Structure 1
C-alpha cells in the first residue's frame, strides 16, 4: 500500500516535519512527529532551523522502522529459557553421577527464573555479572561460583549449537569464597565420639574417619559390599569406584575397618552398615539413617562436648578432612582413599586451617 501523499503545504518539508497554523492568531509554526512513537515535538516558527533539526533527527535520532530486508534477515528472538530446555537434554546425556544431575537441575531452574525471559543471543556480561553479584551480596559466594561455572558451560554449548557467538561469562570475576567452617582435631573427634548416644552414630563416625568417605556414601554402605576382604564403594557424587581393604587401620584412634564392620552387626537384621536399632518416629529397626538425621545427631553430640568452636563449628563432613590428615600422617595416600582425581583437591582437605599444631624439630 502506497504511503498517503503529503499535503501541498508540507511538500517542501523533509519527512516527518509538518507546518501548522495557529487558529487564534494565524501564526505558522513547525512540528516533528517521531515515526516510531507517534509523539509530536514542537520546533518553533523558524523554518530553516526546523528543517535542519528534522533532517538530523531522520538520519540519526529518530527510531525509524528498519528496512524490510533487514527485518526479514534478522534472526528471530529466542528466549534463554528455550535454550535452557535444550541444555537440559544435552546434560542428561552426560556421564555424570545422579547427584550431579540433580544439582544441575536445581541450578538450571534458578537460572531460568532469573534470566529466562532474556533473548538468548543478547544476554551480555552486564546481565551475567549483575545476577552473580546478587548472589554474592546475599552471602551466597559459594553458590555464585557454582552458578558462574554452570553458566559458562551453558554458554559454550549455546555457541556450539549456533544460539550465540560469544561467551559473556568468561570475562566475569569468580566470587571470592571465605572458608569459615572449622576443622576437626583428633581430640575434638574423641570428645564428640564420647558424647554420641546412638550406637549407629558411633559406627558412622568410625567409618567416616577410617574411610574418608562422604556422608551419602557412609549412609549407603551395605554389608553385601564387603567381600574379598575389601569394602567396595561407588561414590554417589563422582562415581569413583574404590576397594578399601578391611585391614585398613588408624593407629592414632586404634580403629580397624574390618572390626568396625563387624561391630555394625547387631541383633537387628539389616542390609545397611549404619542402621536404626529401634523404632524412632517413622523409622523401624534395620532402616538406614536419613542424612539429615545423621548430621543432626553429630551436631548435637558436638554441642554437648562444651567445646568452644567459632561461628561455623565442624560438621559431619569434616571427618573427611580429618581422615585425609590422619592417614597421611601414618604414611598412606589420602588421594586414593578420598577418590580425588587431582592432588590439588586432596591438598585442600589436608589443610588443617590452623586447627592443629605444627611440630618443628
Structure 2
C-alpha cells in the first residue's frame, strides 16, 4: 500500500521504500484517485507535485466559477447580454413598424447599424457597455471613412439604451451613447445650380424622355426620388396632387397650379407632359421594353438616379467635390421656391424648420445679391 511516510511531502505526493532500499514517489490525482509514478528524485517529485496540485486547483476553481455564473442570482447581477438585448430591440422596432410608427426603410437601416454593434459586443453584458466602448466603436467606423454611418450608429445606440432603460435592463438613467460627442459629417456632395440643372435636363431629354420628366417633376414638387418614382396619375384629385411621402409618412396635397418660375411650368403642366402614347398608371414610366420592365411599368428609383448620373456625366459639367446626385434637385427646388416666397417647409414635408434651412443652404455656390 502506498503511504505518505514523510511529513515534508506536499499534498497528494506519497513515498514508499522498496526492497532495494531506494525511495520512490507517486502522485495521487484527487480527481480520479489514480496514482502516477514520479521517480526517485525527491526534489523533482516535490516540484512536479506542487505544480500538478496548482493546475488541479485552477481547474476546480474554474469549474466552480462556471457553475456559480449559471446560478439565477449571478445571472441577475450580470444582466442580459448585449447581443440578446439587441435582438430584442429589433423585435420592438419591427412591432413599431407593424403599428405604423416606423417605416420599412427605417427598420432596414437600423438592422444594418445594429449588426455593427452586435458583432463587437454580442457576448458582453449590456451593463458593461460604457461611454468608452461606444466611443471606440464610433472611432472604428469613422476610421473606415464612414462618418455618416458613425453618426447614424450613434443616434441608433442612443435609442437602444433609452429602450433598455424603459424595459428595466439598465438602471440609473445613464446612456453611454448620449454621453459621446456627436459625429460631425462633412458635406461633400456639390450643390446644384439652376444653370447646371438646365444643361443636365437638356442631356436627360436627349437620352430618355422619362428621365427629363423625372427631373422636372422633382424640381416642381421638391420631392425625393422615392416619391417621384411612386407617383401615379390616380394621385391627381381635383386641383391637387395628393400623396404620402415614403420616408416620413407625411401626407401632402400640392396644388396643380404650383408654378416654378425659372422652369416656366406648373405642376399640372409637368403631369400633362408625362402623358404619352404609352398607357400607364405611373407618371414616370418606361416607354419601351427595358430589361424585364415592359412599356408602362414604373421606372425604379435606382434607375432614375442612375439615368440622372449618366446625363450629368455627359453634360460636360464638372465639380470640385462629389458631383451632385438626383437628390440635389430637391435642394435646388427648395432654394428656387424660397426666392418665389413659397412655404418651403410645408412643400418639403419637414416638421423641423432647421432641416428646411439645410436644404435651402446653397453652400456658397450662388452669389448673394445685395438689395439697394
With the length of structure 1 as denominator, give the TM-score of the two structures.
Answer: 0.81
Q: Counterpart of 2:228 in 1: which secondary structure?
A: helix
Distance 1:27 1:250 in 2: 96
C-alpha spacing 1:263/1:9, structure 2 compared with 1 (3 Å): same
Match of 1:151 in 2: 157
Q: How does 1:279-298 map to 2 (within 5 A)?
A: 279-298=289-308
Shift of 1:69: 9.2
**C-alpha deviations, 1:173-195, integer Å up to 9, x for none?**
22221100011101001000010
Shift of 1:303: 1.2
> Greater shift after overlay, 331-340 or 284-293?
284-293
Q: Counterpart of 1:269 in 2: which secondary structure?
A: coil
1:88 pairs, out of 87, 90, 104, with 90
Match of 2:42 in 1: 23
1:122 pairs, out of 125, 128, 138, with 128
Match of 1:163 in 2: 169
Structure 2 residue 340 is the aligned partner of structure 1 residue 330: yes
Distance 2:177 2:151 in 1: 11
2:253 pairs, out of 230, 243, 248, with 243
Match of 1:313 in 2: 323
Q: Counterpart of 2:128 in 1: which secondary structure?
A: coil
C-alpha spacing 1:24/1:107, structure 2 compared with 1 (3 Å): closer
Q: How does 1:5-20 map to 2 (within 5 A)?
A: none
1:178 pairs, out of 165, 183, 186, with 186
**C-alpha deviations, 1:98-121, integer Å up to 9, x for none?**
221222223223332332232222
With the length of structure 2 as denominator, give the TM-score of the two structures.
Answer: 0.79
Distance 2:93 2:181 in 1: 25
Moved over 4 A (4+): 7-11, 24-28, 31-37, 68-72
Matched residue count: 326
Which structure shows the higher helix fraction? 2
Which blocks of at least 5 consecutive residues in structure 1 are unaligned? 1-6, 12-21, 40-61
C-alpha spacing 1:71/1:288, structure 2 compared with 1 (3 Å): closer
**Contact residue 231 and residue 244 of structure 1 kept, 8 A:** yes
Match of 2:285 in 1: 275
State the superposition RMSD in angstroms: 3.1
**C-alpha deviations, 1:214-252, integer Å up to 9, x for none?**
000000001101012101120000000000000000111
Q: Counterpart of 2:291 in 1: which secondary structure?
A: coil
